[in-house]
Chain A
Amino acid sequence: MSPIKKPKLAVWKFASCDGCQLSLLDCEDELLAIADAVHIANFPEASRAVAKGPYDISLVEGSITTPHDAERIHKIRRSSKFLITIGACATSGGIQALRNFKDVNDFISIVYANPEYIETLNKSTPIADHVFVDFELRGCPINKYQLVEVLNAYLNGRKPNIPQYSVCVECKRKGNVCVMVATGAPCLGPVTQAGCGAICPTYQRGCFGCFGPKETPNTSSLADWYKNLKLSEDDIMRYFRSFNAFAEPFRKESEAHE
């Protein structure tokens, strides 16, 4: 097959830690096969070669936090057949969305001596708040095998097989003893989407919600259970307010405990 006919893949970065796009380079066993199947047309973290759009698949990492980025995402949408967001920043605003609960000007003056050099928006928002997104892949960071599955699905014109049930289901499958029941460790597993393989409970700690809310999460019931574990209102607020703080169900629950 000539390289011209391969589908074109682009990787874009907004406000983020680079970890989710690193997941693509972390596919040590699959990377060369992926590079065989697609034309990596724009991936600055890995290559200085840049091919012009349009692109068949755009992977977008990071959240929108600056006026310039709010414009840039529209250009990327226009040049992409499928736009897939990867990771908690792109799907819910990420850890930097903690600013959304405070006055960002206070934040700027805490970190920078000359705030006038800094251009930023009041809120860190997910990509879907700005443009139509074809698929959202969750996780902080994403699971690389789920990434390969999503790429495979879009390249072959099928729906990605990414479950939306909770981390609890993964724990049951692995035969983990429930950390919340057995040790009293607060766990977000019941309201968090699966995908990580329930690693925290496997390592004897409570889930802290990297993959964001599952479908129909009952966060208030879980918060009541936390109260039974003698967690303070502040503790409960912080539990729901971390890497997916601005995802609607987690945002509302954290605000109920402020």
Chain B
Amino acid sequence: MNNRVIKVDYLARVEGEGQLLVKIKNDAVTDVKFSIIEPPRFFEAFLRGRHFTEAPDITARICGICPVAYQMSSCHAMESICGVKVDGALRELRRLLYCGEWIESHALHVFMLHAPDFLGYEDSIQMAKDHPDLVKNALKLKKIGNEIMILLGGREIHPINPKVGGFYKVPTKKQLQGLVEPLKWALDFAIESVKIMAGLEFPELERDYEFVSLRHPDEYPLCEGDIVSNKGIDIELSKFFDYFEEQHVPHSTSLHAVVKDRDDYLTGPMARYANNYDKLTPKAKKAAEDAGLPKVVLNPFKSIIVRAVEMVFACEEALRVVDEYKMPDKAYVEVKSKAGVGFGCSEAPRGICFHRYEIDDGGIIKDARILAPTSQNQKAIEKDLRQFVENHLDLSHEKMTWQCEQAIRNYDPCISCSCHFLNLQIERE
């Protein structure tokens, strides 16, 4: 008879503070709590009274890992309120900046935070002793993502160059061409990474997920699109709160999001990939095919392969933008404030980052609502854990604890984000 408590008080290799508690009684899982213990920071509250042009700089500070996601979502929301469309080369530069964040963030997660679980190391530094070339190449790939961020954003963390309407300053064609050789290397290494990740051993777990992501008619989604799911949702951003709601539960400082009248959903690489497989760039699609990856992946542990496929996409897309770039005459479109409500949603490396703002005539923010990807994934994570533990009751306490942590890391959770959110405990009574 299996009675135990699995507890992790401070979950490692995630961004922010989280805990896990799993209680098992008479071979049945009686409780699963994935808690976010990150102290609340009240972004939505102090955005009130700020000028609409400040939103990209302020919301970037929600997350040091994916600041571009917050900047792009807030810029698009403000532009929609003010009736401005940012197109052409400026839109392309935004995609390039976002590719930089995807490369940097995915490389960090895939190699430095998640791969050590599969290969049995406590961290990437220990992993580097046995796999020095893998870690060195991973760091090189990550650095290339950061170089894009530095060139277009001014710095890798909390870029200063994006603004409502475009950028403060745009790069010359020659400056962008400096990225070509590093990106060609990055593309080759990303393709190799898909093979390496597909060769790992994956714990068994499959669930019938509701995958929620953006979808755009012409491209694999980054900054723009409608919200879709594999279970029938296909809506404009403005209808978001008709279909989704947030619940406040006692064990978490992050709100849990659900599909109204249904249940949990998954956002992030697996959802984007399932909903947008047809929009992948040719080399990304080929890398997935060569690795034998199906068009829909249902084992969350295999998200590491999907992330690698997305690294291929990001490198390929970045090369395309650099190749086609013509420096625009102006770095931004003039934006005049107008009273109204607007929405912005972009694909952070770990899932959709949804913003809604209300501003007044003078451009002052009256109300702000921000849904971080990890808060949307919290309930899916708890359900994964429950099913995983139920199906693996024979595992030793140590192995169970580690694999539960790994199951949470499948989501590349960014806890700092979600709280405006992690700590693992498994109790076996």
Q: Are A19 and B64 in contact (CB under 8 A)?
A: yes
Does B179 sit within 8 A of A, measured CB to CB? Answer: no
Chain A proximity of B147: nearest CB distance (Å): 10
A21 to B43, CA, bound (A): 21
A13 to B12, CA, bound (A): 12
Does A108 sit within 8 A of B, measured CB to CB? Answer: yes
Give the residues in chain B near A216, CB-CB below 8 Å.
Answer: none
Give the residues in chain A near B128, CB-CB below 8 Å.
Answer: 32, 35
Give the residues in chain A near B13, CB-CB below 8 Å.
Answer: 44-48
B-facing residues in A83-114 (Cβ within 8 Å): 94-96, 98-99, 102, 104, 106-108, 110-114
Give the residues in chain B near A29, CB-CB below 8 Å.
Answer: 139, 143
Segment of A156-164, A200-208, A247-255 engaged in the interface with chain B: A200-208
Give the residues in chain A near B351, CB-CB below 8 Å.
Answer: none
Does A22 sit within 8 A of B, measured CB to CB? Answer: yes
Does A243 sit within 8 A of B, measured CB to CB? Answer: yes
Does B277 sit within 8 A of A, measured CB to CB? Answer: no
Q: Are B62 and A17 in contact (CB under 8 A)?
A: yes
From A16, A25, A124, A200, B112 is in contact (CB under 8 Å) with A25
Does A196 sit within 8 A of B, measured CB to CB? Answer: yes
Chain B proximity of A224: nearest CB distance (Å): 21
Does A69 sit within 8 A of B, measured CB to CB? Answer: yes
With known contacts A48-B13, A66-B39, A200–B65 Cβ distance under 8 A: no
Does B158 sit within 8 A of A, measured CB to CB? Answer: yes
Give the residues in chain B near A182, CB-CB below 8 Å.
Answer: none
Q: Are A110 and B420 in contact (CB under 8 A)?
A: no
Does B215 sit within 8 A of A, measured CB to CB? Answer: no
Q: Which B residues form the contact surface with A (CB < 8 A)?
A: 10-17, 38-46, 48, 50-51, 54, 57-58, 61-65, 67, 108, 112-113, 122-126, 128, 135-136, 139-140, 142-143, 146, 154-158, 160-161, 163, 168-169, 247-250, 253, 255, 331, 402, 405, 414, 416-417, 420
Chain A to chain B contacts (Cβ below 8 Å), 18 pairs:
A17-B416, A18-B16, A19-B61, A31-B139, A44-B11, A45-B13, A50-B12, A95-B61, A96-B46, A107-B45, A108-B40, A111-B45, A112-B248, A114-B248, A202-B154, A203-B160, A238-B50, A238-B51
Give the residues in chain A near B14, CB-CB below 8 Å.
Answer: 45
Most interface-central of B62, B67, B158, B163 (chain A CB within 10 A)? B158
Q: Are B139 and A28 in contact (CB under 8 A)?
A: yes
Give the residues in chain B near A243, CB-CB below 8 Å.
Answer: 61
A26 to B64, CA, bound (A): 11
Q: Which A residues form the contact surface with B (CB < 8 A)?
A: 13-23, 25-26, 28-29, 31-32, 35, 40, 43-50, 65-66, 69, 94-96, 98-99, 102, 104, 106-108, 110-114, 117-118, 120, 124, 140-141, 196, 199-200, 202-205, 208, 210, 235, 238, 242-243
From B15, B39, B126, A18 is in contact (CB under 8 Å) with B15
From A99, A141, A205, B158 is in contact (CB under 8 Å) with A141
A43 to B122, CA, bound (A): 11
A45 to B412, CA, bound (A): 12
Chain A proximity of B143: nearest CB distance (Å): 4
With known contacts A46-B123, A98-B46, A114-B250, A22–B65 Cβ distance under 8 A: yes
Closest chain A residue, CB of each to CB of B62: A17
A118 to B36, CA, bound (A): 12
Q: Are A15 and B41 in contact (CB under 8 A)?
A: yes
Closest chain A residue, CB of each to CB of B247: A113
Give the residues in chain B near A112, CB-CB below 8 Å.
Answer: 40, 248, 255
A29 to B136, CA, bound (A): 9
Give the residues in chain B near A45, CB-CB below 8 Å.
Answer: 12-15
Closest chain A residue, CB of each to CB of B117: A48
Given A16-B416, A47-B122, 19 new contacts (CB under 8 A) = A15-B41, A18-B15, A18-B416, A26-B142, A44-B12, A44-B13, A47-B123, A65-B39, A66-B39, A69-B39, A98-B42, A99-B45, A110-B48, A117-B250, A196-B155, A199-B155, A204-B168, A205-B160, A208-B57
